[in-house]
Structure 1
Amino acid sequence: MALLNFPDNMFQILPGEPRLYGEYPEIRAGVQYFRNFMETGEWERRRDKTARRFYQSLVGERSKDKLGRFYSPNELFDWYLFLAEAINDHPQNYEVSYGSRVVPVFAAIGRNIHLVSSIEGFEERARRIVTSGQSQPNGGLFELLVALAYARDGARVRFRPEQPGKRKTYDLDVEANGQSWAVECKRLEPGTYVENERAHKRTLWSAASRALAATGRSYYANVDFLTEVTDLSENHLTNHITDFLRSGELNQIRHDQHIRMVVGELDLDGIQSVLDTDVILFPGPVYNKLLTGKYYRYDDLNIAHKVRFAENPHYIDALSQAIVLRSRSLSEKAIEKKARHIRRKLSEACSQLPTDRPGVIHVGLEALGHDAIEVRRHEKIVDNIQRFDPKEKPLAYVFTHYFSPEASPEDAWAIDETFDWRRLRMGPMPLSQTSLLLPSDAIGREGSHWES
């Protein structure tokens, strides 16, 4: 497929072609709701631009992006809408790993679309996401999900009008069971620390992977970072890899006070046997499992490989060499820094609440890494909430929504939503249906996503 010459059926399913991931009417309804805010032909132009960025990244024509993103940060919502549309209407373009974070949101909005007209100000917030807010859609989408949850519960919900240039106020007025509530929503982003960690890890691995690739053989390295990744010199991993190659051994265990590493030759027989008769979606959990022999939730892989793309470069047709880094950031300081900024967000949210009625804060955050890391991060977040002092504000509840999306070798998307709450004042619970993403009749389970 020529990148500047997309085929006529680029965004279609051919007659008789199977739907790779099934059909989801609720996702389609959510997609159509946001598309309705665009002029005729506008989405087609934005979609084409998004697809070109994605495929250029896949084939290595956008290697200058240090974070390896498939999308433009300034057009993030277009990437979201592209994925949510693709899973139903052009699944050959659906990126399963990122899509699992996006499609549950569109599904929840589409599932509750009948409630939108009852929420004053909802349409204005949604329109802003599509237009001026598309570089930072997560906060706005989270606000919409919270508003729908209260409306689904039977409450009267109204978005507070925003007043540019004036002091920020809270998000929602909610009336439920004879009680008025002031509701503020905060969606926690990974933050600059996480982005800097990812970028520095890519730098650390870049020279090391080139040294391995120069041998013409395939290798893997499993690395646990015991200190902060950003504290390591750029040649730290390269020095270990160089010593390993000089040893002439097939595999080694290497460690120092900063890392633990297992490095060795990678057997490609398993993935080659599949490629002999089929193509494999890349990136994706099936490819990762076939390449490394195992699948992990939130697997953190950096892959350099020599491949032949299929006609659609979203699929790989042949593989001749692969260099794979699987890593975890286990530094206590790193975990603390990834968890601590919830205190600042709570303070910001509380400052926006009024003093004349009980307040509710909803905090949304997404899992960032390996299950063992998430357990520690969750403990620290809960501790921060438990110790939070609202001072003079009549804050009644803090609700925490912990999202754990997943694309596994078996499923194109799945989501766990853990819910925690803290009551600071006696009184009725403002919200009985606590899930923002799952259907009302979904069968839940006790515990968090890392608990079997």
Structure 2
Amino acid sequence: MKLDWEDWLIPAKKCLDWFISEMGEEEWSRRRMTVADYFQGLKQVTLTEEDIQHGDFAKKFSPIAIYSDWISWYMYLVESIFLRQGCDDPSQSSRIYPFFAVIGGGIELLKKIEGINEKISTILNEKQNMPDSTLFELTIALFYAKKGYKVIFLEERKDQKMPDLKVSKGTEIFFVECKRFGKTTGYAEEERLEWQRRSKHLFNAMRIQKIPSHADVIFKVPLAETDEFLLGRAFTAYVKSNKINDGSILSNHQIDFRAYPLDIDEFNRKLSNAPSRPNSPQMIYDLLGKFDIQGNYTLLAGPSRIDSINPDDKLFVLNDFYGAVHEVYSAQWESISDESINYKAK
């Protein structure tokens, strides 16, 4: 069933307005600009020849999120729907919009719940910076309230473990502890960093060989147990043995490795017809002819044409679309080691 505008956009805007009113317009302007400044800084990152030859791609792996102020990042994404069309990152916003829509649709009920002011203060606390759990608590509290339960947010205590909610109806009383899975595990984040250390040597090898390429890498052991230069050496050996022209797999006890050249001319034809946001699923699909929503992709592209939406407004970020590139390298990786699977399992 197709959702109408009123089904989620208007409630999401109501939630945003509530948060802004509680935060204060001046404070919101400051924190929103911090979000914009972060991304404006990423736009200015360029790689020197020395960076490339030494495999120093670190700045190219800056996260598309504001780790230091999550709630302001979330609020920016929702606000952009209405004020800055084209400024978005679907992989981030798709998990945020439902919370804002649900909360916005039940604001009047939430405002009547005892302890709500403290919860809103918590979610907007820049220093605490843990909004996900509180967003979840608000939605759970709202579901109980809609079912006719009296709901109370219980105050946290440093000296005693407390549930999050007290809910009651008639003679029934329940204490509710709200638990949700984190977006990623600590191991997954460490593994991502290990991949970055190794992939930069892979991309450097591709550039030295002057072959715009894509590599598929399967790690059979934990990434941290492999040599940091393994992928760069694997690609070089792969090219020298002419495997890159037949698509065969280079395999040992640590990895399975396969690579193939990319058709930049065909890629540029697609970008010319429909410019794409860098590193987006659409760009990966245009480049590779496929996209796995569960896949781990890394793409480095040197643009020769960038189309920007309202580039003179500093609050417009994530608003660049590549219309052509002069070089491009990509990789998809997966770890199938028992340690990786077990530590990332939910």
Query: Please, what TM-score do these two structures have when normalized by structure 1?
Result: 0.65
> Quick one: which amino acid aligns to residue 250 of structure 2?
R
> 1:310: which partner in 2?
307
Distance 1:23 1:211, change over 3 A: same
> Quick one: which amino acid aligns to residue 121 of structure 2?
R
Match of 2:259 among 258, 263, 271: 263
Per-residue CA shift, 1:202-256, capped at 9, x if unaligned?
Answer: 1111111111022333100111222222221201212211101222342431111
> 2:292: which partner in 1?
296
Judge conservation of contact 1:299–1:326 (CA < 8 Å) in 2. yes
> 2:272: which partner in 1?
276
Q: Secondary structure at the match of 2:179?
A: strand
**Structure 1: how far apart are the matches of 2:266 and 2:18?**
44
Match of 2:21 among 36, 49, 73: 36
**Structure 1: how far apart are the matches of 2:324 and 2:164?**
52
> 1:158: which partner in 2?
152
**Structure 2: how far apart are the matches of 1:177 and 1:332?**
50
Distance 1:280 1:129, change over 3 A: same
> 2:53: which partner in 1?
none
**Structure 2: how far apart are the matches of 1:332 and 1:257?**
14
> 1:9: which partner in 2?
none
Per-residue CA shift, 1:135-186, capped at 9, x if unaligned?
Answer: 22111111112111211222111110223x4223111001146321111112
1:83 aligns with 2:80: no
Judge conservation of contact 1:302–1:325 (CA < 8 Å) in 2. yes
**Structure 2: how far apart are the matches of 1:149 and 1:23?**
16
What is the aligned length?
Answer: 318
Structure with the higher helix share, 1 or 2 = 2
Judge conservation of contact 2:279–2:299 (CA < 8 Å) in 1. no
> Quick one: which amino acid aligns to residue 284 of structure 1?
S
Cα deviation, residue 187, structure 1: 3.0
**Structure 1: how far apart are the matches of 2:93 and 2:267?**
24
> 2:37: which partner in 1?
52
Distance 1:65 1:307, change over 3 A: closer
**Structure 2: how far apart are the matches of 1:64 and 1:273?**
30
> 1:203: which partner in 2?
197
> Quick one: which amino acid aligns to residue 285 of structure 2?
K
Match of 2:239 among 224, 227, 245: 245
Unaligned stretches of 5+ in structure 2?
1-6, 48-56, 310-318
> Quick one: which amino acid aligns to residue 177 of structure 2?
E
> Quick one: which amino acid aligns to residue 310 of structure 1?
D
> 2:120: which partner in 1?
126
Distance 1:88 1:178, change over 3 A: farther
Distance 1:23 1:167, change over 3 A: closer
Q: Secondary structure at the match of 1:101?
A: coil
Superposition map of 1:411-422 within 5 A: none
> Quick one: which amino acid aligns to residue 260 of structure 1?
D
**Structure 2: how far apart are the matches of 1:212 and 1:67?**
17
Query: Quick one: percent identity of the two aligned structures?
Result: 25
> 2:160: which partner in 1?
167
Unaligned stretches of 5+ in structure 1?
1-21, 340-380, 382-452
Match of 1:141 among 117, 135, 138: 135
Match of 2:341 among 331, 335, 341: 335
> 1:361: which partner in 2?
none
Judge conservation of contact 1:225–1:260 (CA < 8 Å) in 2. yes
Cα deviation, residue 133, structure 1: 5.3
**Structure 2: how far apart are the matches of 1:314 and 1:42?**
27
Distance 1:271 1:26, change over 3 A: farther
> Quick one: which amino acid aligns to residue 343 of structure 2?
K
CA RMSD of superposed structures (Å): 2.3
Q: Secondary structure at the match of 1:106?
A: helix
Q: Secondary structure at the match of 2:195?
A: helix
